[in-house]
Each structure stands twice: as C-alpha cells, then as structure tokens.
Structure 1
Amino acid sequence: MNHAEIERWYRLRNIKKASQVIIMAAVLSLLLGFGVIQYLKGAPHNDADQAASNGQMRIENFVYSSPGVRPWSLKAANAILSQASTKIKLTHPTVVYEGGKGGKIYVTAKTGELDKSASRISGHGLVTIHYRDMKFTTGKIDYSDEKMRAETSSQVCLETTSLSLTGTGLLLSIPQEEIVIENNVRARLYDVKWVGPGQRLPI
C-alpha cells in the first residue's frame, strides 16, 4: 500500500466517523424534541389556562353591585365567568345587604354563584350571617332580588352572647330586617338571672 492509498484510507475512515457523529446527533435531536413535546402535553395547567381553554375568564378580587330596588354589594376572592352562561362562580364571596331599617346584614360563604339575569345569588359551605350581635351559620343560602329575601332549608345555628339556638330552615327579610328560624327550634340561655313572676328574662 503506497502513500496515496494510505492517505485515501485515512480520508475514508474520517468521513465514516464524521457521518456516524452526524447521524447520532440527528437521532439525539429527534429524541429530545419528542421528549419535550410529551412533557408539554402532560404538564399541568393552572386555573387561568383551563378557564381560557373552556371559553371562560377568571377574575381575581371580583366586585359587583346589584342594580335592584334595594342594592347590595358583593366581593369575592375570585370569580369565573363563562361566555355561554350568565352565571358566575364565586370563591369566598361576601355580600353586604342594606336593611330597610338602617341595619347591615353580612353574608359570607366558602363558594357561591351569581346569576345576573335572574338577580339571584347563592352561597354554599360554611355560610355565616352576621346581623347586629347575632351570628347565624348554615350550609347554604339563596337570595332573590325579586323577593328581597334570603332563605335556606338546611340546619341553622344561632349564637349570641347569651343564647345558643338550633333549628331547621331560615327566612331572612331584607326590608324588615327580620330573621325567622322555621322548624325544630331548640334554645339554650347563658348568664340568665332569676326574675320575679310576670317579669321578662333579661336576654
């Protein structure tokens, strides 16, 4: 084998090695690209991404005021609006009602739903109603602008500084600022002093 043949053999070997390197690089690039695509397909999306893909919009620190005869205000940690529906899903809503006698009624819940077309709002989970020095708790509540009344058929508890009361069903009239627990009412009094015959208990 002469010098020319030796040079030719080395050139062929180097070309072969270079070809192998290029092929390996191409294969690795394909595998890497496939892995990235699969990762993106399986990657979790946040609530905003999911809402956008479903034709919905998420709003943080949502605020709403009703246009009714007796206005009320609503605040929520966030709200999800849908293009296909007038109903708005709420997280940690707080509603403030202006009573007909100058008082304010505060209603909070874990979740809720606002129906703008029907002027209705509902609260679900850990519902709390604060009025003056009274605190009512229940599992759900529904309010209608048409009736100007909130109501529930669930178990209700009332706590004050001198009274603990349970019952089933509640009616809350906003104009009259009147709250009625309808059925199975049981009460327990605290710090009650003895009074004479015909006198009222100091509640």
Structure 2
Amino acid sequence: MARYVWSKIISRFGSVGVLSKISDLLESWAFSPWQKNGKILWNVALLTTFWVFWKERNTRLFRVLVKSPDYVYINVVVLTIACVRALPSFRFVLVDDLWWGWSEACMDSELRPLVAQVWDPPREGFFKLNFDGSSFRNLGPAAVGGLLRDYVEETCWAFLFPTGIADSNEAEITAVHEGVRLIDPSILDK
C-alpha cells in the first residue's frame, strides 16, 4: 500500500518512478529542485503522507479496519491541499489548481491569483438565467441549479435538484435544459 501511495504522490509532482528505500525519499526531502511554493508543497505533502500512514497503521492495529490504497491516497491529497491553503503563499491559489496536479505549482514562482467574478445584470426589461451543473467524479451523482434575475439584480426564480448519475458535461447541459424548461412564463411578463 505504501509504495502505491508514494508513487501516486510523486507522480502529482510530475515525476515518474518508485522509490526503492525510505532513505531515498528522505534524501529527496532535503533536495527538491522547485522554487519556494514547490518546496513548501513538497514538504507539506511528505508530512501529510507520513501522518496519514501513521493514522492508517493505528486504524489497522487497534480497530482492525483496512482502507483501500486509493482511499489512503485521497486522504493524503485532501489533507495536503487543506494544509497548504492555510499558508499565506497559497491563500489565493484555486483549489482546482491544487487538486488536478502539483507539478505546475512547483515550477511557477507565482501561482495564478484568484480572480473575482462579477455578475453583469441584463439590460432594463430583460432577465438573465445563470445556471450550473456538476457531478461527483467523472461519472457520479449529479445536480443542477440556477437563478433567474432581473435588471435590478433581484432574484425572480431559482431551482436546485439532483439529476441522478451523470458526468459533468451532461450535468451542465441538463442545467441549461431544465432552466429554460422550468421557467414559469408569468414571471417574464412582469
């Protein structure tokens, strides 16, 4: 299990290969070729991996529960992201940037800053339908939602509901379809 998790963690940094000994890992801890944010991320990833392994060891010994290697790996990734997001140099880094890979975070001196999204109201007499659809994992439980707002930014109508099992693209398309289909025409007449 440990070799599998370590190899997946190392691959998140853009490296391929498996460490044969723990001494190789500790040596790599002292020498990381990355810039400031990369070194911070590498150190946090190593510490969280050791922490999760220690917790897993205790769970197996004292509770006789065994979790899958993928479960342990996801715990390492989530804990690492939570820890680095608490640090000042990662405060404005998008969670998505950290979730999908760490190699870019290690190579860039400055990570992409968080950009504020601004909602533009429609012209007077018009409405704007904002919608979103998402799914858990590539194919999993999905949900859609949306808001209909007028030119004075007042919410006239909203919807939110699960749609079953779908991928993210299907959820987005369902959000558009359901948003247009479910609007009560009497709202648009005001």
| TM-score of the two chains, using structure 1 as the length reference | 0.25
Q: Which has the higher contact order (CA 8 A, sep 6+)?
A: 2
Q: Which structure features the higher share of helix residues?
A: 2
Q: Who wins on radius of gyration, i.e. which is larger? A: 1
| TM-score of the two chains, using structure 2 as the length reference | 0.26
Q: Which structure features the higher share of strand residues?
A: 1
